[in-house]
């Protein structure tokens, strides 16, 4: 369609403004950790199908989830203070079955049943500390020092950019006897409940 009238021009200007606003919003979400590394195209991979290969060692099935697409983090990545259920991230979950395995080779198989990107990082659990007690920094994340492994690649093994909704991820690690904590370290997710203890027995 051709038009030289001012009205057509203003419509075009409006369309460009809306586009810019949309991009800005997307960038804000990205900065806030709504997704890490990946672009909007990988933010929601609903219906992703993964075929998980045969994994070695003792199997631990991990399920991660959230309350739905409304549970995105704030643009500044912080979780507002408040009582349980009163913070911006809502309730998220990370469950591991079984919660105890013999020492040796252990394979984690993670299923993301939520609407957001998630991950599972294996951290040693210090004596006297329970799962969920790690202090989170201002960015809503916990220290990952001493990590023993990570499953954060959609339909893949090891570290990646996050597990897309509906996708699976896996990793095989060698764990000595001890107490471990499985955490999701996307900003605010640990504080929203994404942690579980995994005990490794002799
Ligand atoms: Cu998470």
- Alpha carbon of 187 to ligand 1 centroid (Å): 8
Alpha helices in the chain (DSSP H): 6-31
How many angstroms separate the CA atoms of 12 and 150, rounded?
47
- Asked if 200 and 176 count as a contact pair (C-beta separation under 8 A), the reply is yes
- Alpha carbon of 195 to ligand 1 centroid (Å): 9
Q: What is the pLDDT of residue 153?
A: 98
pLDDT tens digits along 151-165: 999 999 999 999 999
Any idea what DSSP says for residue 163?
B
- Alpha carbon of 54 to ligand 1 centroid (Å): 25
- Alpha carbon of 113 to ligand 1 centroid (Å): 11
- Alpha carbon of 76 to ligand 1 centroid (Å): 17
What architecture (CATH level 2) is domain 40-201? Sandwich (2.60)
Confidence of residue 49 (pLDDT cuts 50, 70, 90): confident
pLDDT tens digits along 65-112: 998 765 455 444 444 443 333 345 669 999 999 999 999 999 999 999
| For the chain, domain boundaries | 40-201
- Alpha carbon of 197 to ligand 1 centroid (Å): 16
């Amino acid at each position: 369609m051709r038009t030289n009238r001012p009205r057509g021009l203003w419509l075009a200007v409006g369309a460009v403004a809306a586009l810019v606003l949309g991009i800005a919003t997307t960038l804000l979400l990205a900065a806030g950790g709504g997704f890490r590394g990946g672009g909007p195209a990988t933010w929601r991979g609903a219906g992703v199908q993964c075929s998980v290969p045969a994994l070695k060692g003792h199997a631990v099935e991990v399920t991660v989830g959230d309350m739905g697409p409304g549970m995105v983090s704030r643009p500044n990545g912080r979780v507002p203070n408040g009582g349980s259920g009163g913070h911006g991230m809502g309730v998220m979950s990370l469950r591991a079955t079984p919660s105890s395995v013999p020492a040796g080779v252990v394979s984690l198989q993670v299923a993301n049943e939520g609407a957001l990107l998630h991950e599972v990082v294996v951290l040693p659990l210090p004596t006297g500390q329970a799962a969920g007690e790690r202090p989170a920094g201002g960015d809503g994340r916990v220290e990952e020092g001493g990590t023993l492994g990570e499953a954060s690649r959609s339909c893949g093994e090891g570290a990646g950019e996050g597990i897309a909704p509906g996708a699976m991820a896996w990793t095989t690690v060698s764990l000595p006897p001890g107490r471990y904590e499985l955490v999701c370290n996307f900003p605010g997710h640990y504080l929203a409940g994404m942690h579980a203890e995994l005990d490794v027995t002799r």
